[in-house]
Structure 1
Amino acid sequence: MNAYRAKPLNFPWPAVLYGAAVLTALMVNRFFPIPVANGHGWFAWLIGGALIFTAISIDLWAVKTLLDRHTAILPTRCATCLVTCGPFRFTRNPIYLGYTLLMIGIGLITANPWLFIAAMAAVALMTVFVIRNEERHLLSRFGFEFERYCRRTARWI
């Protein structure tokens, strides 16, 4: 199978990596809690709620944009077109950005600093193991058009 027809991923790593990051943060916090000043303050709830709302909005917007363009949503499927509109104008990975913001928002609401650490670890792992594979797939499918998109749009923010 050539690179043009190859799938970006053979396994749904994004769900596994983010799920493992959340579970790890919750378990580590149970055994090694980090004390937080002001615990569950209303400001943390407000910011956390806003981040969660933003994360869900970005994810839904990205999925709707992909559906409107009739291309793959799942990272284990081949892309049929390069989507550069909607939230993809601002970031090449809006769904993963949404997952990260969701983890940070939950961390603020639950006063669990381990979720911040886990979110940053998930970003690093996603970049190395998932996003680079997806980018190779998109480069093989769309060539110069994808390179031009990468030059004008940030990978994360």
Structure 2
Amino acid sequence: MNAYRMKPLKYPWLPLLYGGACVLALFLEFYISPSAIPALQGMMPVLAGCLIATAAVALDLWAVNTMMTSQTPVRLDRCAQRLVTEGPFRYTRNPIYLSYTLLMIGGGLILQNSWMLMAAPITALVTTLIAIRNEEMHLLVRFGVDFERYCRQTRRWI
């Protein structure tokens, strides 16, 4: 199969990565509760978590809607049909992964789970190493100079 027709990932498993990290954080909180972080106690972290989680869901819906409107698949095991640079993709090259990470942070604040807060940046790093680099190579092969220009103008995360 030629590089132009290659898919970014063989399986669309990244939601499972984030979900697994959340489940692991809940498990660790239940069995290995770290010393309480005073800043996570009270209503302010819960309210902040609700705002962050709401923003994360809105960002995810906006990104998915933008991709569907552009008639390019959201799933990672499908080839990109178009280079999407509008909507939330004007501000970040990975708004869906950003929304997953923000949702983990919001959930960590809502549940006052410090493990989830620690897992969010680690999961984002693993996502960058395993998925984003493959996706970017796929987009570079498919869209060439247009993708390079887009990368120079738009940050990977925020």
* AA of the residue aligned to 1:4: Y
Question: 2:12 matched to 1:12?
Answer: yes
Question: 2:150 matched to 1:149?
Answer: yes
What residue is the counterpart of 2:141 in the other structure?
140
**C-alpha distance in 2, partners of 1:28/1:45?**
20
Tell me how far 1:12 sits from its aligned partner. Answer: 1.5
What residue is the counterpart of 1:97 in the other structure?
98
Aligned-CA RMSD value = 1.0
The alpha-carbon distance between structure 1 residues 68 and 103, as it changes in their structure 2 partners (threshold 3 A), is same
What residue is the counterpart of 2:110 in the other structure?
109
Scaled by the length of structure 1, what TM-score is found? 0.97
* AA of the residue aligned to 1:49: C
* AA of the residue aligned to 2:105: I
- After TM superposition, where is structure 1 displaced by more than 6 Å over at least 4 residues in a row? none
What residue is the counterpart of 2:78 in the other structure?
77
Q: Which range moved further: 40-49 or 50-59?
A: 40-49
Tell me how far 1:39 sits from its aligned partner. Answer: 5.1
Scaled by the length of structure 2, what TM-score is found? 0.96
Show structure 1 runs of 5+ residues with no match.
none
SS at match of 2:4: coil
Tell me how far 1:122 sits from its aligned partner. Answer: 0.6
SS at match of 1:18: helix
**C-alpha distance in 2, partners of 1:18/1:39?**
22
Q: Is the 1:40–1:109 contact (alpha carbons within 8 Å) kept by the matching residues of 2? A: no
Tell me how far 1:77 sits from its aligned partner. Answer: 0.7
Q: Is the 1:62–1:94 contact (alpha carbons within 8 Å) kept by the matching residues of 2? A: yes
The alpha-carbon distance between structure 1 residues 38 and 125, as it changes in their structure 2 partners (threshold 3 A), is closer
SS at match of 1:75: coil
Q: Is the 1:71–1:79 contact (alpha carbons within 8 Å) kept by the matching residues of 2? A: yes
How many pairs are equivalent?
Answer: 157
**C-alpha distance in 1, partners of 2:38/2:54?**
24
The alpha-carbon distance between structure 1 residues 39 and 8, as it changes in their structure 2 partners (threshold 3 A), is closer
The alpha-carbon distance between structure 1 residues 124 and 39, as it changes in their structure 2 partners (threshold 3 A), is closer
Show structure 2 runs of 5+ residues with no match.
none
What is the percentage of aligned positions where both structures have the same residue?
51
Q: Is the 2:93–2:156 contact (alpha carbons within 8 Å) kept by the matching residues of 1? A: yes
The alpha-carbon distance between structure 1 residues 146 and 40, as it changes in their structure 2 partners (threshold 3 A), is same
**C-alpha distance in 2, partners of 1:134/1:55?**
21
Q: Which range moved further: 79-88 or 38-47?
A: 38-47
Q: Is the 1:40–1:110 contact (alpha carbons within 8 Å) kept by the matching residues of 2? A: no
